[in-house]
A and B are shown apart, each in its own frame.
Chain A
Amino acid sequence: MSKMHVKFTLNGQDVEGLAEPRTLLIHFLRETLNVTGPHIGCETSHCGACTVDMDGKSVKSCTVFVGQADGRQITTVEGLTNADGSLGVIQEMFREHHGLQCGFCTPGMITRAHRLLQENPNPTEEEVRFGIAGNLCRCTGYQNIVKAILASAEQLNAMKEAAE
């Protein structure tokens, strides 16, 4: 099958490559670009392990053709680490509150949490539970994930205030 040329911004850097048009974004990220943070848990849009951020929206990259990513801004969990290599706020809060066990859902979960907190910087517990319902976790029972996201919101808001 003939290949198409794709180009997009990934975690702030321009990337490009060739792919069959039927290639799903998750496979292009993982197998062509070697960005293995986003995982595959179902390939049917149910689990959210493959969640990435595309132009400011959470998308399940197993349900996006690579061509649809052309020219977009994409962020994966790898892009949420601080510039100095230390953990970003949400990553740190997941660690602090034991919001992960096997870690397989974690990249998708953190990427989703990142977007959720942009959409709603002061979510209630209910809003967090609703906002991450597209991401399955089989290990944690979500309780500590919710805690970690609420703690992230608090910390991010405090940082914002301090900066103002």
Chain B
Amino acid sequence: MKDEIQTPADRSANLKGMGCSRKRVEDVRFTQGKGNYVDDIKLDGMLVGDFVRSPYAHARVTAIETEAALKVPGVLAVLTAKDLEPLGLHWMPTLAGDKQMVLADGKVLFQGQEVAFVVATDRYAAADGVAAVEVEYEELPVVTDPFRALDPDAPVLREDLAGQTEGAHGPRRHHNHIFTWEVGDKEATEKVLDEADVVAEEMVYYHRTHPMPLETCGCVASMDKVTGKLTLWGTFQAPHAVRTVASLISGIAEHNIRVISPDIGGGFGNKVGVYPGYICSIVASIVTGKPVKWVESRMDNLMSTAFARDYWMNGRIAATKEGKITGLWCHTTADHGGFDACADPTKFPAGFMNICTGSYDIPVAYLAVDGVYTNKAPGGVAYRCSFRVTEAAYFIERMVEVLAIKLGMDAAELRRINFIREDQFPYQSALGWEYDSGNYHAAWDKALTAVGYDALRQEQAQRIADFKAGKTRKLLGIGLTHFTEIVGAGPVKNCDILGLGMFDSCEIRIHPTGSAIARLGTISQGQGHATTFAQIIASEIGIPADDITLEEGDTDTAPYGLGTYGSRSTPVAGAATAMAARKIRAKAQMIAAYLLEVHDGDVEFDVDRFVVKGAPERFKTMKEIAFASYNQAIPGLEPGLEAVSYYDPPNMTYPFGAYICVMEIDVDTGEHKVRKFYALDDCGTRINPMIIEGQVHGGATEGYAIAMGQEIVYDDMGNHKTATLMDFFVPTSWETPHYTTDHTVTPSPHHPIGAKGVGESPNVGSVPCFSNAVHDAFRPFGLVQSHMPHDQWRIWKIADDLGLHG
């Protein structure tokens, strides 16, 4: 047999298992335009829904006139809050324990808020209908500044909460206050600050931005009145959670709801939440008896679904004269917009912001976060990050730089003397986390060497001299970042969303001829799950990845799981996949032993087969074992070869990385050029290096956008000024830098295959890295802190404020 002459290495390569850059199986259909995204779905008699939206940021809605709209050809229905109220659906619960209007109930709280839902035969008729709905508004005073929102005389935004002094996360101390969340030892931290040699203090603002996947959010709801079954296709990052929430709020029994996430055109956190469009489409389908599609326009998307960040982080960091950090204090004012619709695990109203001690061994720390209502869109989603990790990383990586300035130290050296040492893992952080593994010094040294750090600093010194001598108008910035993430939410003991524990799942069925199908509770939005999860199974049970079909996203067939966001797919569902595979392998071992007529313990797994120990010529391949499991009666074993695993991780995983950016800055124009961007990531065991590298390129580009120009801006009237791609910066290929990727491998000790997750690391790490490069360029001229995004005008302004324009 050919099989017998193959070496184990050949057999292993044939599997295309973990560690190989397997080409993606998804791409054959995507490159031909044969993807199936939600807007591609077309059903018989399907109608289209579109929203009438508020032009005001804060106003009373005194009348809605729908008659004219109903006369528009093609318009079948116009829903308002009045129509939803009898069903109890005019408001909906948010993921953060607040509630949100589905359609304006007497008032609006942000520009672009959903006021009425027009249902028509096609998108043009729906748009005509929207234009024909007349709404009368009575303007109210607007507040867009979260500090001003807490003034005693600030306008009352949430009149529905009048008199409620207790919110979902404890006491509310003001009518626009949502919660205060405190972690750490306040007293001890303040004592350290009072007694420290050196304290650096700074307000670090991480501006409001938006995930903006290229595909907007949308759904198709189809209520089959005959079977009583509701099918809901949509851009859902968590299809099972949507099914449960839809059941709870609509009263439709959960077995009568089928939620399907088809191909998703990027998510980045935008598609975790539940939006009014979903509810309205379901109701419209029930009312009209027809399938109803709702797909956001880009403007709808940027105005109403899922902003990210908007954290004002006031920090104090204490250190000895030698630069040993002794304490960290942070008070954050979090702008949540008109409704608290953050997507965080229930017990973490500010997400995992308490990872803000970063990569450093800081003995004491204290964090408080105040959530505030303003007249802006709700959201606060984890945009390509694990629940506010990006904010935390930006905060600490800025504070370390600010401290380096205060100490007159090199920022690379300051980091080095404060890193958690390899021998300290598992490391208990002052704010309550147990870091699983890391080797920060090794990664840091590798990164500094790779970019030639010392030579860069020399070049920079020369540049400054030249600049001062009038020989150049360009400055050189060297941006440093060492980040630690916390991903893979998470242990059910402390992580749930709306009471649903954040485990995940995988079911594997081996077919008689030795191929397989696996289904997971997660859903890919471009991460290539169909490719990588098959690689895990291939390595674990010795079936070629090419012989494994992978399915996600259909709640009627996939096992229950909490979905894909917060880099949780590999840490949680990836673990479930390995565990399910191991159950199959355990059964396969018994079958092999039976077939080979030896004891179970006398056979061992060898790439794609079980061999008799000490007699490698006696073996049964997985293919043979699979067939036997279906056609032989094996004493003591059930027929078939299937397994399911629900995996509740014992801990989060803690990927980390060292990023370095070299940036040229033109002092007179404010233009910048990224000369080099080096990204070293340690995500533990690497499943598919090609895909990891792609994730790093993409995440770093999103970070580049955020740091260098992208923001969601409102004027004082609450007008949204960045609702199109003309105003909202998304980098093209032209301005996007070139990236050099690198890695170290520190496996997670508690994960079955040691993998930590990587999708979000580059966004978490690159934002401070780009920002630090800008700051570093101006450090010799006295710049300590300036707010992102560092667009051309802001950089020019920094130079101007520092007197560099003469």
Q: Check: A117 CB closer than 8 A to any chain B CB.
A: no
Please determine whether B725 and A102 come into contact, CB atoms closer than 8 angstroms: no
Interface segment among B2-10, B525-533, B576-584: the answer is B525-533
Q: Check: B449 CB closer than 8 A to any chain A CB.
A: no
Please indicate the chain A residues that have their CB under 8 angstroms from the CB of B32 in the complex.
37, 77-78, 80-81, 87, 91
Interface segment among B19-27, B314-322, B465-473: the answer is B19-27
Contact flags A119-151 to B (C-beta < 8 A → 1, else 0): 000000000111011111111111111100000
Nearest residue (CB) in A for B212 is: A138
Q: Which 6 A-B pairs have the closest CB atoms?
A: A37-B33, A104-B265, A102-B526, A103-B30, A141-B697, A141-B701
Give the interface SS of chain A, mostly helix, strand, loop or mixed: loop
Closest chain-B Cβ to A50's Cβ sits at a distance in Å of 11
Nearest residue (CB) in A for B74 is: A1
- Per the bound structure, the CA–CA distance linking A36 and B733 in Å amounts to 25
Q: Check: A42 CB closer than 8 A to any chain B CB.
A: yes
Please determine whether B33 and A77 come into contact, CB atoms closer than 8 angstroms: yes
Q: Check: B215 CB closer than 8 A to any chain A CB.
A: yes
Closest chain-A Cβ to B569's Cβ sits at a distance in Å of 14
Please determine whether A102 and B265 come into contact, CB atoms closer than 8 angstroms: yes
Q: Check: A16 CB closer than 8 A to any chain B CB.
A: no
Closest chain-A Cβ to B286's Cβ sits at a distance in Å of 24
Please determine whether A101 and B701 come into contact, CB atoms closer than 8 angstroms: no
- Per the bound structure, the CA–CA distance linking A49 and B697 in Å amounts to 20
- Per the bound structure, the CA–CA distance linking A87 and B31 in Å amounts to 8
Contacts A94-B31, A104-B37 hold; do A31 and B122 have CB atoms under 8 A apart? yes
- Per the bound structure, the CA–CA distance linking A153 and B216 in Å amounts to 32
Closest chain-B Cβ to A98's Cβ sits at a distance in Å of 5
Interface segment among B171-179, B511-519, B600-608, B734-742: the answer is B734-742
Contact flags A20-63 to B (C-beta < 8 A → 1, else 0): 10110001001100111111111110110100000000000000
Indicate which residue in B31, B263, B700, B724 contacts A141 across the interface (CB closer than 8 Å): B700
Please determine whether A143 and B528 come into contact, CB atoms closer than 8 angstroms: no
Please determine whether B690 and A98 come into contact, CB atoms closer than 8 angstroms: yes
Q: What are 17 pairs between A and B in contact, CB < 8 Å? A: A22-B124, A31-B42, A39-B215, A41-B216, A78-B33, A91-B32, A95-B27, A101-B266, A101-B526, A102-B213, A102-B215, A103-B29, A103-B263, A106-B35, A133-B733, A138-B214, A139-B698
For window 368-418 of B, CB contacts with A under 8 Å fall at none
Please determine whether B525 and A98 come into contact, CB atoms closer than 8 angstroms: no
Please indicate the chain B residues that have their CB under 8 angstroms from the CB of A95 in the complex.
23-24, 27-28, 31
For window 187-235 of B, CB contacts with A under 8 Å fall at 212-216
Please determine whether A101 and B694 come into contact, CB atoms closer than 8 angstroms: yes
Please determine whether B31 and A132 come into contact, CB atoms closer than 8 angstroms: no
Query: In the complex, which of the residues A23, A49, A129 has the most CB atoms of chain B within 10 Å of its own CB atom?
Result: A129
Contact flags B271-298 to A (C-beta < 8 A → 1, else 0): 0000000000000000000000001011
Nearest residue (CB) in A for B694 is: A98
Contacts A91-B32, A138-B702 hold; do A47 and B697 have CB atoms under 8 A apart? no
Contacts A103-B26, A139-B698 hold; do A42 and B124 have CB atoms under 8 A apart? no
Please determine whether B31 and A106 come into contact, CB atoms closer than 8 angstroms: yes
Please indicate the chain B residues that have their CB under 8 angstroms from the CB of A92 in the complex.
31
User: Apart from A38-B33, A141-B699, what are 12 other A-B pairs with CB-CB below 8 Å?
Assistant: A1-B73, A31-B42, A42-B298, A44-B725, A92-B31, A103-B35, A103-B263, A104-B215, A128-B733, A136-B732, A138-B266, A140-B698
Closest chain-A Cβ to B330's Cβ sits at a distance in Å of 31
Contact flags B522-548 to A (C-beta < 8 A → 1, else 0): 000111100000000000000000000
Indicate which residue in A39, A47, A100 contacts B37 across the interface (CB closer than 8 Å): A39
Please indicate the chain B residues that have their CB under 8 angstroms from the CB of A135 in the complex.
732-733
Contacts A77-B32, A101-B528 hold; do A39 and B265 have CB atoms under 8 A apart? yes
- Per the bound structure, the CA–CA distance linking A46 and B299 in Å amounts to 12
Please determine whether A43 and B698 come into contact, CB atoms closer than 8 angstroms: no
Nearest residue (CB) in B for A42 is: B298
Q: Check: B691 CB closer than 8 A to any chain A CB.
A: yes
- Per the bound structure, the CA–CA distance linking A80 and B28 in Å amounts to 13
Nearest residue (CB) in A for B704 is: A141
Residues of B participating in the A interface, judged by any CB pair closer than 8 Å = 23-24, 26-35, 37, 39-40, 42, 73, 122-124, 212-216, 263-266, 268, 295, 297-298, 525-528, 690-691, 693-702, 724-726, 730, 732-734, 736, 738-739
Closest chain-A Cβ to B265's Cβ sits at a distance in Å of 3
- Per the bound structure, the CA–CA distance linking A20 and B28 in Å amounts to 35
Contact flags A71-107 to B (C-beta < 8 A → 1, else 0): 0000011101100000100011011101011111111
Q: Check: A10 CB closer than 8 A to any chain B CB.
A: no
Please determine whether B526 and A103 come into contact, CB atoms closer than 8 angstroms: yes
- Per the bound structure, the CA–CA distance linking A36 and B232 in Å amounts to 20
Please indicate the chain A residues that have their CB under 8 angstroms from the CB of B26 in the complex.
103
Please determine whether A101 and B37 come into contact, CB atoms closer than 8 angstroms: no
- Per the bound structure, the CA–CA distance linking A110 and B31 in Å amounts to 8
Please indicate the chain A residues that have their CB under 8 angstroms from the CB of B28 in the complex.
87, 95
Nearest residue (CB) in B for A111 is: B33
Nearest residue (CB) in A for B736 is: A142
Please determine whether B215 and A130 come into contact, CB atoms closer than 8 angstroms: no
Please determine whether A44 and B298 come into contact, CB atoms closer than 8 angstroms: yes
Closest chain-B Cβ to A95's Cβ sits at a distance in Å of 4
- Per the bound structure, the CA–CA distance linking A46 and B729 in Å amounts to 11
Please indicate the chain A residues that have their CB under 8 angstroms from the CB of B734 in the complex.
129-130, 133
- Per the bound structure, the CA–CA distance linking A9 and B26 in Å amounts to 29
Please determine whether B733 and A129 come into contact, CB atoms closer than 8 angstroms: yes
Nearest residue (CB) in B for A46 is: B725
Indicate which residue in B39, B695, B726 contacts A40 across the interface (CB closer than 8 Å): B39
Please indicate the chain A residues that have their CB under 8 angstroms from the CB of B27 in the complex.
94-95, 100, 103
